[in-house]
Amino acid sequence: MPQQLETLPCIDFSKVKVMGILNVTPDSFSDGGKFSCFDKALKQVELMIDQGVDIIDIGGESTRPGAADVSEYDEITRVIPLLKAVKSRFDIAVSIDTSKAAVMAEAITYNADIINDVRALQNEGCLAVIAQSDISVCLMHMQGLPRSMQTKPHYNDIIEDIINFFIERIKTCQKKGIDKHRLILDPGFGFGKTVAHNYQMLAEFNKFKQLGLPLLAGVSRKSMLGDLLNRDVEQRLSGSLTAAIVAVQQGAGIIRVHDIAETVDAIKILKAVAQYSEDKK
Ligand code: 9MG
């Protein structure tokens, strides 16, 4: 029997969650800014829920390579009214994609469920804000900063370097009083990584499981797919689904995606295959 099938039942696919991306930035790379309008964003949330999303990830800062900084005021204005509206209208988990302590504090006040921080709580004041709450946090690895991160990324051993980074961040969180079990880890596909680094991370994603925490993978429509397939952003659905399924097979518990319905379908197929193998035992 091929090794991949043998290992399938060891992972509990029934718990895999789909996180839907909702960028509310004027320059969002994947939606061309079309959801910066409040009503359209709410409609998009409704659609995502109908399609089976588990978590909505709302972001007001673009983190694509070369993106400019955004002010605290602009980010709060983009994200918080939407968070309030979503929480008052729908029964759905919401994560807020931010690296700013003030945005985190507001998000906690208005009942966000997760803080998704691509800077892993390294910005000033973030650890303290999170320590005063009981919110879950996704710590993502990034080498450098969005403005310059794709200029010659370098690692001694990418998997080992990222694991060491996570060990340090987990320890720092614990020292500040943040329980380890509130943390989710994400190696950060495309954030200071070459195409080769990204595919190594995907192939060896299960190595991050040794840290004993839930893992998040964000590969949707990223340039690691476009570069390999020579496809523009809007032509990356097959690549996104394939990479998402590989990540789930490698132990990702949360998949951050643009294409909800298609990803939910793909994960259903994976679950059916795993269930068959389980029943046959
Ligand atoms: C905000 N954002 C963009 N890409 C991301 C990724 O891969 N992971 C996480 N956690 N956030 C991301």
Distance from the alpha carbon of residue 62 to the mean position of ligand 1, in angstroms: 10
Please give the pLDDT value at position 84: 98
Residue 116 in contact with ligand 1 by CB distance below 6 A: yes
Please give the pLDDT value at position 6: 39
Residue nearest to atom 8 of ligand 1 (CA): 218
How many other C-beta atoms lie within 10 A of the C-beta of residue 189? 25
Please give the pLDDT value at position 197: 97
Residues of the chain with pLDDT under 70: 1-11, 13, 27-36
In the annotation, is 100 catalytic?
no
- Answer for the pair 113, 95: CB distance below 8 angstroms, yes or no: yes
CA distance 57 to 277: 33
Which H helix or E strand runs over 115?
A: strand 114-117
Q: Residue 39 burial (CB < 10 Å; 0-12/13-18/19+)?
A: exposed
Alpha helices (H) in 148-210, listed in sequence order: 158-175, 195-203
Distance from the alpha carbon of residue 229 to the mean position of ligand 1, in angstroms: 21
Nearest to 236 by CA among 40, 30, 77: 30
In the annotation, is 271 catalytic?
no
Distance from the alpha carbon of residue 192 to the mean position of ligand 1, in angstroms: 12
Residue 140 in contact with ligand 1 by CB distance below 6 A: yes
Per residue in 42-79, pLDDT (tens digit) is 999 999 999 999 999 999 998 877 777 899 999 999 99
Nearest to 220 by CA among 242, 187, 250: 242
Please give the pLDDT value at position 132: 98
Nearest to 59 by CA among 8, 129, 112: 112
Per residue in 170-204, pLDDT (tens digit) is 999 999 999 999 999 999 999 999 999 999 999 99
- Answer for the pair 221, 178: CB distance below 8 angstroms, yes or no: no
The string over 122-149, giving b where at least 16 C-beta atoms fall within 10 Å of a residue's C-beta and e elsewhere, is: eeeebbebbeebebbbbbbbbbeebeeb
pTM above 0.85, yes or no: yes
The closest-lying atom of ligand 1 relative to the alpha carbon of residue 59 is 1
Please give the pLDDT value at position 28: 52
Furthest C-alpha separation in the chain:
56
Alpha helices (H) in 110-230, listed in sequence order: 126-131, 158-175, 195-203, 223-229
